[in-house]
Structure 1
């Protein structure tokens, strides 16, 4: 009897549900309601939900949902409940679907007076534009430390980091580093062209002009490689977080062949509708206000008709995606994905010849790559694109377009898997109880095989880190891998 008296209290304690032991101010039902709100928002607004719910995505969404519900059921305090929702979001493996800073209640501070950047010197002006705030100019692997490497441009005081490297019995390699597809990463370039930038009307115009200067710098580097008789170019977008649409635009500099942008889809949501309306406004304005010639008028009308049809589709009753929490379906067999067509990742038209339309104002409304058409085909030889697990977003778009258009082979490690992010700004989802704020992608870029780019870009030539191997050794092994592939495919030797 003595032993039984000792055991019974423990058994009784174990029989009490965990939620009965929670902190007295912990409201489990409110957290469950937050989770339900999040799932409803995903069904309504998240562009990648159908893909994530597919058998091809690699994510078991029903299992993730069950895991989250169990975690909320067993949570004993707010911290544990919040972690359950954070783990749920992490399980999507979509970097664009992410948390934003939780905001404090209160009146927003007034906007301070604007600053006239046209009077600033290069250092101050570039700093005010945010240039130098991100990006690492060095290569993602230490090619600079390898024998046979010659630095051509450092990417700090000079616009880009570039170099030449010749290995024994190997090709002569031109190395080009693109740390970001955004103007804020290129401080040396900004300072170099500041006198031109300061003539622009606004800070946004200055950043646009800086992107034009980046295209000029990339073209100049590629032309330098050609003049130096390099056998191939290795473009390093490892550890590149992405940026803007230049991940699509700059691909044209590496070939004279036609380059097609990815099919673009937007969510059947207010954000998707806003993007369609924005493009319709731009296309209609070009047709009505810029006196297009007959060929331009025909292309504008075709694009307007396509976007009007998408706009009508966006207004249809949306299909139900609640099945994603209970089953997985084949992406290719889905009758509805709650997405609408929105042209391409390079504008309403996925391709236009460089000489199709002379008027730059009009042609930019149709195909954004036309902005750099003077530099198309700056390099025409073999190209390899180096990626790693920290290659994201616009950098993935670059790698995917280079691969899917047959311009380049990819080498290294599979990318992080952000895919398309945001074609327009949209308000975040705020959960009512916890006040957690999340952003949700409103667009999808499709690969050549029809898959969602959010799955990441697998390398043609995997060069994975190995136990005990230094970064220098892996850089050397990667170059040997590229050299062997180049000899096989292009007859080098």
Structure 2
């Protein structure tokens, strides 16, 4: 192809049309748009829009146009708003059928591998605490789910350090899966119906292991616990549940909202299905019956109210308005990060299935308060998604202090599976987040979790020296607060 032919093949108008389509999709589906369109959001969207249009209007080829759209997406600083992989080829007319897994023929190792359980990645501490003088490493994070040990600060203060590399048990507990599979297999042939209970058992084992480590720190009488979620990219709802293990105080989960789009109905239907299944439990107490009915009514009302939350968000490209999640934001209330209820007392209703359908964190009732002393949460620019949910809730509701660097700013992300936005001409694909978690101050969690005790890299300092300085910072804060384990 000659240079002149290539130039003719580039249609600037197509890229401008694609950009207009992307903005329209964001107005309709992007849960964080109203936040970033506010002064609090820290992004000047009108300026970003002008810059993007200028770059597209002067682009001379496809690569320049792609770069303009890439810079637009990056300008939001939202880790969940991102490209969704390469442009896809047309759908195969007769796709090759993938046979179902025959679980009855697999042993525990094979089955758990098929379910996606694999060796932990990034098990090491995010700072090399194990290399510091006086450290006793108790678990390597490989044979056990959590790397952990006792470290000493420069003044001799002893801390328990536990590493949570991610809130996704498939990465962290293959051994727990294999044990659960073997125990269930010993009772008879396995099938696809056994997959869900095995995963639930593996998740429960992961949480029990964490609780046991925290209890061990109590027995060792460490001054405080440092929980390392640096470079933890997130995972699942255990980022909310696990907070209860670090305090005996009542913890109320963050308020959650969703984009007022049809996909919200899918999430509401999922919650309604779980609540209605719980209604079938035998002999529920009158209190449980009433709570289930109230919860069902709440989700039905939300589902019916999706259309009413629609509004024209095109103002976001021309002006900034104060953050008002209940104003013109196209957001609808979705309960809490823990379900319909932000909190239930332990052993609520005397029925775990009912309690956990209303308040998912009821699953850890037996593990609450495994540790009840001072806690410091180590975050950095790689701490995202459900690791931010954990860090934010630890800061807002559990009295923990955040130390290190500001988190990634991924925020809630996704509470319902939705296809990516596909641009009509370039066929570029984008993942668009559909949920928002609100901090105690009402701000969007996508702003990132800021440290109470910043410990930033300094010139000439290696990671080992920074780990030593971080422990010194924590020890000084502990002394200043007069805190005791």
Counterpart contact for 2:180–2:198, Cα < 8 Å: no
- For 1:196 and 1:90, how far apart are their aligned partners in 2? 47
Deviation at 1:359, TM superposition (A): 1.3
Partner of 1:301 in structure 2?
293
Counterpart contact for 1:290–1:362, Cα < 8 Å: no
> Is the alpha carbon distance of 1:441 and 1:491 closer, same or farther for their aligned partners in structure 2, counting shifts above 3 Å?
closer
Alignment deviations for residues 101-150 of structure 1 (CA, whole Å, 9 cap, x no partner)? 22111326344222234653444333322223663110000001000101
Among candidates 66, 69, 77, match of residue 61 of structure 2:
77
Counterpart contact for 1:286–1:292, Cα < 8 Å: no
Partner of 1:383 in structure 2?
375
More divergent stretch after superposition (218-227 vs 183-192): 183-192
| SS across alignment from 1:249 | helix
Alignment deviations for residues 361-404 of structure 1 (CA, whole Å, 9 cap, x no partner)? 11111011111111111111111100000000000000001110
| Alignment of 1:86 onto 2:70 | yes
Aligned-pair Cα RMSD in Å: 2.1
> Is the alpha carbon distance of 1:214 and 1:58 closer, same or farther for their aligned partners in structure 2, counting shifts above 3 Å?
same
- For 2:179 and 2:123, how far apart are their aligned partners in 1? 16
Among candidates 175, 182, 186, match of residue 195 of structure 1:
182
Among candidates 131, 144, 151, match of residue 130 of structure 2:
144
Partner of 1:278 in structure 2?
270
Among candidates 32, 38, 51, match of residue 48 of structure 1:
32
Stretches of structure 2 lacking an aligned partner (at least 5 in a row):
none
Counterpart contact for 1:135–1:185, Cα < 8 Å: yes
| SS across alignment from 1:432 | coil
- For 1:376 and 1:196, how far apart are their aligned partners in 2? 26
TM superposition score normalised by structure 1 = 0.92
- For 2:151 and 2:127, how far apart are their aligned partners in 1? 13
Deviation at 1:304, TM superposition (A): 1.9
| Alignment of 1:433 onto 2:425 | yes
Alignment deviations for residues 166-216 of structure 1 (CA, whole Å, 9 cap, x no partner)? 234332110100000001221454455552475683444433322111101
| Alignment of 1:174 onto 2:166 | no
> Is the alpha carbon distance of 1:213 and 1:492 closer, same or farther for their aligned partners in structure 2, counting shifts above 3 Å?
closer
- For 1:98 and 1:142, how far apart are their aligned partners in 2? 31
Counterpart contact for 2:380–2:406, Cα < 8 Å: yes
Partner of 2:397 in structure 1?
405
Larger Rg: 1
Counterpart contact for 1:22–1:76, Cα < 8 Å: no
Counterpart contact for 2:81–2:432, Cα < 8 Å: yes
| SS across alignment from 2:249 | coil
Deviation at 1:490, TM superposition (A): 2.8
Partner of 2:453 in structure 1?
461
| SS across alignment from 1:84 | helix
TM superposition score normalised by structure 2 = 0.93
> Is the alpha carbon distance of 1:26 and 1:183 closer, same or farther for their aligned partners in structure 2, counting shifts above 3 Å?
same
Partner of 2:80 in structure 1?
96
- For 2:152 and 2:181, how far apart are their aligned partners in 1? 35
Deviation at 1:312, TM superposition (A): 2.4
Alignment coverage as a number of residue pairs: 474
Stretches of structure 1 lacking an aligned partner (at least 5 in a row):
1-19
Point out 4+ residue stretches in structure 1 off by more than 6 angstroms.
none
